[in-house]
A and B are shown apart, each in its own frame.
Chain A
Amino acid sequence: MAVSSSSFLSTASLTNSKSNISFASSVSPSLRSVVFRSTTPATSHRRSMTVRSKIREIFMPALSSTMTEGKIVSWIKTEGEKLAKGESVVVVESDKADMDVETFYDGYLAAIVVGEGETAPVGAAIGLLAETEAEIEEAKSKAASKSSSSVAEAVVPSPPPVTSSPAPAIAQPAPVTAVSDGPRKTVATPYAKKLAKQHKVDIESVAGTGPFGRITASDVETAAGIAPSKSSIAPPPPPPPPVTAKATTTNLPPLLPDSSIVPFTAMQSAVSKNMIESLSVPTFRVGYPVNTDALDALYEKVKPKGVTMTALLAKAAGMALAQHPVVNASCKDGKSFSYNSSINIAVAVAINGGLITPVLQDADKLDLYLLSQKWKELVGKARSKQLQPHEYNSGTFTLSNLGMFGVDRFDAILPPGQGAIMAVGASKPTVVADKDGFFSVKNTMLVNVTADHRIVYGADLAAFLQTFAKIIENPDSLTL
């Protein structure tokens, strides 16, 4: 592609004939291309911008006599990067060829106004160059105010209050900005670094899950809140073509007048993506009534010690899963499934404008008090958006509880990558008949588990629920 350097000022040598193009340029006087205009306050050619003279605009150059607009092929430099005179900054595609645009000035690429793949007319500002580092911010704000293309990052919603846990949609939340602790050197693979740069993720804040704890591309993708792209090609070829007939109908009804359109936040996009993805998993549901009299009694006893219902349910589920490992398994490629080495219970939590699933790791092993403590900590972190990736994406089983709203039963959607999700309804007094025909009133709660039928079958799930019910009905083991 790019015919770098030289000669686009020497347009005379561009042969317009035929469809071909060639650049004849004498070597000696190297005509280096630069299109910079210093935007002094006096020259207010673009709107009423008052930019200090130290901030220069980078313009779309005229690369040939016939060029009226150009497309940005790629920015060689990224925002904030230092530039030295003569260095290539951006590659521009004209109607004829790709060329480098070089800088005449030392400085910093403060802002990219026209992004990669976008088009701008000749002479339009495509970026801003700041002379000193201090001016980058200033230039950026100018860029934000002027850019027609959206340079502005999606703004992360303000810290939301954590309430209960409604709908079972599981999201990889928005970027997490946390400080990694420990002096350990960060090891990230080349592609991970590239992705981090692209998605503006601070690589130091990403938790590495790759071999030797290194940060891999998928770690960065997770941290950036995008679902990992299809696994890079590996010896066993990935599964056959995806399900056909995706809803591609474009004949949507027109919007009603005065309706407002709200673009998805990063978190909503992630939820949406995960939900669509979940459609490719064949799921089924099994419900089970559980008597909670004993559990309620236990809860009253341990509540003063800081134990929450969430911890009780998570512990019970964890113990039941330990006896039914298949329910804790995951099927990722449709060809095999893996028994997960630990039982990590993700608990769905609604936060303002989204949904997140903090994970109680090793829920079967930790005792109730530790679990409760851990849960409080996780909720706190979720509120302040401090959750580390492994604290929200390492779940092997999900728990969603809408009981506190009086919901008696509901149906959860299985998050991709997990084998089962449990939807817990409210516990309420119910008339039950025992086997001898005697009626009594007992607190009963309906639980409904959605599972991946590729790996979990009806009998598995029934057996698991039976165990779960037994634990809830004889909850003493929970406190052990």
Chain B
Amino acid sequence: MQSAMALSFSQTSFTRPNHVLGSSGSVFSTPRSLRFCGLRREAFGFSTSNQLATRSNRIQFLSRKSFQVSASASSNGNGAPPKSFDYDLIIIGAGVGGHGAALHAVEKGLKTAIIEGDVVGGTCVNRGCVPSKALLAVSGRMRELQNEHHMKSFGLQVSAAGYDRQGVADHANNLATKIRNNLTNSMKAIGVDILTGFGSVLGPQKVKYGKDNIITAKDIIIATGSVPFVPKGIEVDGKTVITSDHALKLESVPEWIAIVGSGYIGLEFSDVYTALGSEVTFIEALDQLMPGFDPEISKLAQRVLINPRKIDYHTGVFASKITPARDGKPVLIELIDAKTKEPKDTLEVDAALIATGRAPFTNGLGLENVNVVTQRGFIPVDERMRVIDGKGTLVPNLYCIGDANGKLMLAHAASAQGISVVEQVSGRDHVLNHLSIPAACFTHPEISMVGLTEPQAKEKGEKEGFKVSVVKTSFKANTKALAENEGEGIAKMIYRPDNGEILGVHIFGLHAADLIHEASNAIALGTRIQDIKLAVHAHPTLSEVLDELFKAAKVESHATTRTVSEKVVV
């Protein structure tokens, strides 16, 4: 099951600094909030959150008959019954964030319940990272098999590659089911009570779920996640104008699809669709594609992932109106200039995918009962995920993690936040360093990053008075990459030459998503370059790309070296 958590996050939009949630072709007039070090306190951009109610998939569950309260006994690990509360910890939302928190809570000896109004696994497992990885696995292979030149350079001969759409769709669906079951079983096995029904906060330490079940807990974590954000003017019919929720079912492969938003959701889908034979048109509100990535990386990524493929794009425009295909007419997209709002163009395509980011799913949570006012739907929290009420004071015993707080909309970030909260409620103060949380985009090749981008680091260096250096290496210089005929790629590290601190690492190339963790761990643990450069990497592996970065970095000689562990005689 751990694998489930590691399965990345693609669907949960990440609100990295500067990675504008509204990397979109639509109504965001707000400029990118370039908060430079790290995370903006709250993500922005959604004018109203009540519009979400219509899309909420929770509602339907009110009508579900069975609230099977899983009565798994607490004999096997779920903590001892508390004195005055039903539970030590109640988590509302069984996505990856809630799941991570629940497992850790049981480990800490807390009696834990998790409430889910939809299906266990949340967005990531059911409508996000997990099924999208299944589609991307297919697209990666298709791309490889179709690339005659690539095959020839291996000396391989492959007859024309084709695919069965339903088969591909089934693979994605089966994977989601499997991971969902794993997730459910992992919680059941250790005795987490899974309560079915829509959960809401009734008051301090009191939660309602389903129709009228009221339970109490010492601490409550809200982990209700997010839903695809659809800007106004766009009519989603689920067939020709779709969101990622629909696209992941792969009910059709349109000949020509417009993707609104060129963030990583849009980028990943462009990879899938073009590999399956579609042509793609990107609509991006900002002036360049792939906002939020390190500029150098996005430039290279555009050259590899966009330009040679059957993709064109319109930047600096909003999709002010999108009408689904009907009456024998194609999908119509009206574009207006992002700045002047003047009409610019009209597109006729076969389908449109709205990938403009994600909106928090916090409506109907009973937040008013604890005087909490959401900000554009997001629940305000402090750096310890403690919920802040309308007057700016902390609400005791109430926490919010994951997409619902908008700090960093990634599945593994939610999970990390959940674990951090459990650490706190079980008596150990903990503040999560969001700058050490890696992010990845699973295109072919992949893009991954951790920490600051080069412009952010420079700005920080100027402000705080330290020097910033950059070191780069090419995958062309890596033996393993060349053996795979995948020399396309670059890795860059941004660091402080005075003390050897790693500020950010960005990778574009084969298996970049797997490679980033050496850097993210180093940042999380505070490992300095002068120390890590002495570590050994197996040869020949892709990990030598990072080795190369560490070794090429020039740290000033006065920087202190951590004493390497005691010598062990072998």
Contact = CB atoms under 8 A, between A and B. Distances in A.
A136 B299 CA distance: 28
Interface size class of B (residues with CB under 8 A): 35 or more
A21 B545 CA distance: 10
Contacts of A187: 348
Given A1-B488, A190-B280, A240-B159, A21 B348 contact: no
B277 A22 contact: no
Interface string A273-285: 0000000000000
**Interface majority SS (helix, strand, loop, mixed), chain A:** loop
B470 A232 contact: no
B165 interface: yes
Contacts, number: 131
Instruction: Pick the 3 closest A-B CB pairs, nearest first.
Output: A237-B162, A190-B312, A191-B310
A381 B268 CA distance: 48
Contact of A20 (B350, B473, B553): B473
Contacts of A214: 256, 348
Interface string A5-43: 100000000010001111111110000000000000000
Given A4-B300, A189-B279, A234-B277, A212 B348 contact: yes
Interface stretch (B54-62, B129-137, B476-484): B476-484
Contacts of A437: none
B348 A3 contact: no
Interface string B437-459: 00000000000000000100010
A241 B162 CA distance: 13
Nearest to A97: B474
A361 B311 CA distance: 35
Residue of B255, B472, B479, B551 ringed by the most chain A CB atoms within 10 A: B472
Contacts of B470: 24-27
A91 B308 CA distance: 14
B473 A22 contact: yes
A237 B161 contact: yes
A235 B165 contact: yes
A19 B487 CA distance: 13
Residue of B299, B310, B311 ringed by the most chain A CB atoms within 10 A: B310
Contacts of B425: none
21 contacts: A1-B476, A19-B477, A20-B477, A21-B476, A21-B477, A23-B471, A23-B473, A27-B494, A189-B310, A190-B280, A190-B281, A211-B330, A214-B256, A214-B348, A230-B160, A233-B142, A233-B162, A234-B277, A235-B164, A237-B160, A237-B161
A190 B279 contact: yes
Contacts of B477: 19-22, 96-97
A193 interface: yes
Given A3-B490, A5-B296, A21 B161 contact: no
Contacts of A190: 256, 279-281, 310-312
B271 to A, nearest CB: 15
Contacts of B549: 22
A332 to B, nearest CB: 15
B469 A26 contact: yes
Contact of A235 (B163, B299, B469, B473): B163
Contacts of B281: 190
Contacts of A189: 255-256, 279, 310
B456 to A, nearest CB: 12
B300 A1 contact: yes
B468 interface: yes
A236 B160 CA distance: 11
Interface in B299-314: 299-300, 303-304, 307, 310-312
A233 B161 contact: yes
A212 B146 contact: no
B489 interface: yes
Interface in A222-251: 230, 232-241
